[in-house]
Amino acid sequence: MTPKTTTASRVAGYKHGRVPRAVREQQLLDLAEQLFMDNGYAGFSIEDLCQAAQVSRPVVYDHFGGKDGIYLACLRRIRDEFEAALIDAAGTAPTATAAIEQAADAFFAIVERDPRRWSLVYGGTTVLTGPIAEDLYALRARTIDRIAAIAARFAPTASPEAIAAYAHFISGAGEQLGRWWLHNPDIPRPRVVANYVSFATAALTQLK
C-alpha cells in the first residue's frame, strides 16, 4: 500500500467530513501533486482539486491560501523527501568520492524511479514571477546550502565563496543531466552516475 493510498483510506475512515487537519492537508497535497503532474502549473485549478478531494474551496484556501501556496507546499514536500535521501546517502561517506558517488546514485535513482515527481521539482518548464518565484528560489537555495555543508567537510581549506560556487555547480549539473537522461532513457543509470561523479570530483579537487 502506497502512502497516497494510505492517506485516501484514512480520509475515507472519517464520517461526516470530520477529517483531522493534518490528514486533510496530506490528502490535498497528494491530489494536488497529481494534478500538477498531469496538467502543469498553468492547467491546475482549485476547482479541480476541490472536486477530487470532495471539499469546498474555503477548505483549500484555509490550508494553503490558494494555488501558489499549494504549489509551493507540494514542491517543498517533494524536495524534503529527495533531500533526505541524498543526505542519508552521503552523510556517512568516508571520502569525498564516496559521498559524491552515493549521493549521485541516490539522486539518479529518484529520476529513474519517479520521473514525474522529479520533473515537477527539477523539470525547469514552469517559469513564474513575483513572490512565488522568490519562494521557489528559497527552496532551491536551501538545497544548495545543504550540498555546500557536505562539500565543506571534504574541502575544509576552501573559501566559503568557492564552496558556494561548487554547490551551485554540482546542483545545476545534476538537474541538467537528469533532464538529459529523461530524453535518453536507454543509457543505463550507472553510466549517468559515472559521468556525474567524474565531473563533480574533478571540480572538487580545484576548490581553494
- Structural domains present in the chain: 3-65 (1.10.10.60), 74-204 (1.10.357.10)
Question: How big is the chain, counted in residues?
Answer: 208
Q: For the purposes of burial, counting CB atoms within 10 Å of the CB of 2, is it exposed (0-12), middle (13-18) or buried (19 or more)?
A: exposed
Bin 171: left if φ > 0, else alpha if -120 < ψ < 50, else beta. Answer: alpha
Which of 8-17, 48-57, 157-166 has the lowest average pLDDT?
8-17
What is the band of 83 on the pLDDT scale with cuts at 50, 70, 90? very high
**pLDDT reported for residue 1:** 44
Mean pLDDT to the nearest integer, 169-194:
97
Predicted confidence at residue 4, as pLDDT, reads 58
As a whole number of angstroms, the distance between CA 131 and CA 86 comes to 28
